[in-house]
Amino acid sequence: MCGAYHAGMSLDTLLAEAQELLPEAVRLRRTLHARPEIGLQLPFTQEQILGAIDGLRLTSVRTGEQVSSVVAVLEGDQPGPTILLRGDMDALPMPEDTGLDYASTVDGAMHACGHDTHVAMLASAARLLADRRAELAGRVVLMFQPGEEGYHGARYMLEEGLLDLGPMSDGSESPVTGAFALHISTMAPSGTVGLRGGTLLASSDTLRITVRGRGGHASAPHHALDPIPVACEIVQAMQTMITRRIDVFDPAVVTVARIQAGTTSNVIPEMASILGTIRAVSERTRTKVHDAVRRLAEGIAAAHDAAAEVEVELGYPVTVNDMGYAAFALETARELLGPDRAREMPSPIMGAEDWSYVLQQVPGAMAFLGGCPKDLDPRTAPPNHSNRVTFDEEAMATGIATYAAVALRHLGAA
């Protein structure tokens, strides 16, 4: 499979060229970091992206109808296939406590997952690729995506025709034959790249359980039907279910993040609610856990003459890297960075990604870019989604070059 993507050709100058573009990438990243936007409507971010790619002589640039996405197409001078590169755009609804000079100026919003770096890296990679237009056999689609943080932005973009590109300008067919995304992380040393074939990230579904009993006076629980101990029993039983019903080599995680009941000390409430998440690394186990949680909750409640209503809200599917494309991307990263800075990950991560929707349609891969600040230890540094997370901006040069290298190899230009 790797040979089909021209692996082994020279990528000698890409890192140096990416380093030259780093100051502008940092400027864009900091602009976005200071003005984070949440969800599917990101007008300021979209405006900054359009400005950053202006002047690259792109074949087409279109913005989303339902969401503030940007899809830009860069055509090579020769016919060939299409590769899709993704950079997600949205921030998280949380405070920032980093103390950075360019910290968020928007209350309750922070780029705590590094999507500001993804946008800046992809825009700079577009510049590298535009400078090599004459060498490209095919085209590059730049996918700037809102709403990754739980809003299904990739799915909206697919529904709006992300992959429906038609032929190239000369009329030649140019199918989308590969897709690649990077995600920065403080869990790895700065400037490293890690990925694996097969399952990379888990599915993520929201679990809601409502236990209904009968309210009463706290002094006489026998006259009431207390839903709180029933809810507690359900929570404990779900953990036992995971360790005794689920294959340890095809794992799942059920985490209860909130239990809510009652109003004061001397009242037994009528209702208790449980909120949590279900994550799995295969669709088979995902379905098995959904069914098991429902049976368990309803059965325990019934044993206490209470009732349980179980709702599982489907989130992102399992993210599965194509085996061949992951091998190609890893080989490309090793050629670009050296074997010490590009590694194969031993196991999946239980986070989730809506890049999974794209990988269900196109063979491709996601890789993790190490961005831990050099004065911190990846094992103890504030992680993504922390209110104190910071990233080493020097790592962005590696990301810029990696985006470009995968595209150039895919299209036979390196």
Q: Of the listed 335, 357, 393, 403, which one is catalytic?
A: 393
Give catalytic status of residue 151 as yes or no: no
H or E element, residue 344: strand 342-344
Q: Of the listed 316, 325, 357, 403, which one is catalytic?
A: 316
Helix 395-410 with 14-34: angle, nearest 10 deg: 120
Question: What is the distance between the alpha carbons of residues 368 and 178, in angstroms, rounded to a whole number?
Answer: 17
Long-range contacts of 53-60 (CB under 8 A, 24+ apart): 53/123, 53/126, 53/142, 56/126, 56/127, 56/130, 57/130, 57/133, 58/126, 58/130, 59/139, 59/168, 59/169
Q: Concatenated DSSP letters for 369-410?
A: EEEE-TTS-TTTSPPTT-TT----TTHHHHHHHHHHHHHHHH
Name the region of 92 (left: φ>0; alpha: ψ -120 to 50; beta: rest).
Answer: beta
Question: What is the distance between the alpha carbons of residues 30 and 101, in angstroms, rounded to a whole number?
Answer: 9
Q: Give yes or no for a contact between 350 and 28, defined as CB atoms under 8 angstroms apart.
A: no
Q: Tell me if residue 113 falls in helix, strand or coil.
A: coil
Q: Concatenated DSSP letters for 259-302?
A: EEE-SSTTEE-SEEEEEEEEEESSHHHHHHHHHHHHHHHHHHHH
Give catalytic status of residue 335 as yes or no: no
252-261 sheet: strands from edge to edge: 252-261, 271-280, 204-212, 307-316
CA 239 to chain centre: 26
Question: What is the distance between the alpha carbons of residues 318 and 289, in angstroms, rounded to a whole number?
Answer: 14
Q: Which residues does the annotation mark as catalytic? A: 316, 393
